[in-house]
Structure 1
Amino acid sequence: MFKTIRGTFDVLPIAHDSGGSDIPGTPAWRHVEGIVQDQMRRFGFDEIRTPVLEPVDLVARGVGGTTDIVQKEMFTVERGRETYVLRPEVTAPVVRAALQHSLLQRGGAQRLFYIGPCFRAERPQKGRFRQFHQFGVELLGSDQPQADVEVIANLRAIYAAFGITDTRLRLNTIGDAVDRPRYLDALRTYFAPFVDELTETSRQRLDTNPLRLLDTKDPREREIVADAPKLPDYVGEDARAHYEAVKTHLDALGIPYVEDPLLVRGIDYYTRTVFELESDALGAQSALAAGGRYDGLAEAVGSKTPVPAVGYAAGIERLFLALADAGTELPGLSRPDAFLVAMDDDARPWTLQTAQALRARGLRVEFDLLGRAWRKQLKEASRQDARFAVIVGPDDLASGVAQVKDLASGEQTATPFADLAGALGAAPEA
């Protein structure tokens, strides 16, 4: 029997366990996505949907050829002479789409959001999968610090809408591209005496991207990193002024933050502001969402002019973990408004036809499709927790009156067919 590939999962109508991870049912996913979409609407972000399959060069140029994503975690597909990648993140595809379709010519800053799957060949663990789901925003065209704060405010508002307020916002600036070489040289000089104490991965990063050493999770390396040169000390005047303005605006909005001079991002396109939203409920892998400014990405993927931009990405699976820790009850399957019960075969065509008419009035209606006896149909109505059972037999068909049974109280009422929709709670017809 075929099964899901390791690191992936099915989303079923009901919650289930997949490889030790609790996977909510589709009603919970729709609920979460609905709250995200509502907050995006309030902030004026419009939805964008990009293909799951993108050119491999788009990701390599945008994310950075020395990153773990490109070096270790991409799922690639070859077709003829072309190589494609299952998107490991959505920012580069969104920027590609904005450039391809000239969205920036619409005028003003472009406020875009997305919800969808991404793919990385990571080691599966709690809250981390090879196919995972993200929501996020990309605000394109503004270099103002208010844009950074608007994105952070949107992120905070979404988690607040879920009742998740016990979070921590970590904040830093990594300066501009022109600031970076001097700091990278300082890091290489600092770490040189500790080379033998570094892991193999960190030794490779010291050569290719020493900035990544700052977010190591190895306990011994964390001790070494504690005394490393601090990035803000190497930030230029313009980037520092931008960062100070971001903090001023956050203070004005009452958004608390913790400055972390060791905070960096694992993707090369970030500049200036970077941030993470954390929750202790997630354990060592505490990040709920992360983002920052990426003013150089558009040029890296083909734009002839700079496009200042800022955004974030948030994991939906990790959001579910935080909701579970908070004891949040998520919606399950909705109950039928009515279950139509045919007492004999002559009444079965009536259940089929009436179900369609009642559904057209906005009701959720089900009926038996297994040819069961009417008493078993009633049991099925109770199992599904239907509000009403509508029972029809030969005499009812002749008189045009159904027996409507309230399954909570047991009360049964004779109701003309013409009045069924109203009796079952449908809104009056316009």
Structure 2
Amino acid sequence: MIPYGRQDITQADIDAVVGVLQSDFLTQGPQVPLFEKAVAEYVGARHALAVNSATSALHIACLALGLGPGEWLWTTPVTFVASANCGLYCGARVDFVDIDPRTYNLCPQALERKLVAAQAAGRLPKVVVVVHLCGQPCDMAAIHALGQRYGFRIIEDASHAIGGRYKGEFIGNGRYSDITVFSFHPVKIITTAEGGMALTNDVELANKMALLRSHGITRDVAQMTHASDGPWFYQQIDLGFNYRMTEMQAALGVSQMGRLDQYVASRHELASRYDKLLADLPVTRPWQHPDSYSGLHLYVICLQLDQIDKTHRQVFESLRERGIGVNLHYIPVHTQPYYQQMGFKAGDFPEAERYYAEAISLPMFQTLSDAQQDEVVAALRISLGS
């Protein structure tokens, strides 16, 4: 089986983790700050907070921005559920904005229309979570301009996008958002096994997220409500969580960061090769906006179902039967039973649902060989009946 994604672990990665295991610190040692510094310097952000998952990063990002009960978080329906669930964790309400049919990202025009109606109804969002699906950045300049006009805060869910660029600058630099979140799950571009990171240029947001990731506890005298009783002293000044990243994970991340550019370049070579190999097939290949340089976490095709004599499911199952580990990213969140209990229903976001009816994620990882890629395309050709 050729999987849709796979981590690349080298001897250098193994040595880095073993080095931590042989050290005095398995948690709260020097590796986490090193990893944070490496990522912050790479993308050009002032502050970086490593945590145990991108979901945790989204949660503390929402809390740091003050999202709470009675307020709204908006995001795209085509994402993993965590991009929406983070609002529910804060007691907020969640709504969605339909996608751009070319990029599959949250559509700025649909967002503007929804904002106009929401302003008239008195229910503007406090936070908008934009998702850089497959690694391609959203139209951040347009969304940022809307944020300035309508007063919402912006979180970039860049779980797919580390190493990518928007308008020539690295995703995560914070020019168009308050907080950016990366994921380091094994199928992502670089990995820490599990792990995530929140980046910001705002020191107050950074301090708040640092507090929240570690139980709301501080040893900083400047943050305490009264004088220290002694060198052992700490105070819980907020309700936080244990979202810390371990030293082993961070050491793996530091090692992987040294190959990030190589990984993204390899993915672009694979995507370019896919584009050529698929040119004569009845599929829509990923469209890339000229302002973007995608991290290319995923390579998603959409079936031109009016030109083939098979259903979406038949093509998907045929590929799996032929040893191609395709996947589908994602089932629109508003169609999930938990969200339908809130009143969402099929038909609410037609572009997202049209995408779901046609999309298939082909194998995309930096060590995918030409022979494996040829095997993927040959299986797809058979599955389509072409």
Does the TM-score normalized on the shorter chain lie above 0.5? no
Name the TM tier (shorter chain).
Answer: under 0.3
**Higher strand fraction: Structure 1 or Structure 2?**
1
- Structure number, greater radius of gyration: 1
TM-score for both structures, normalised by structure 2? 0.24
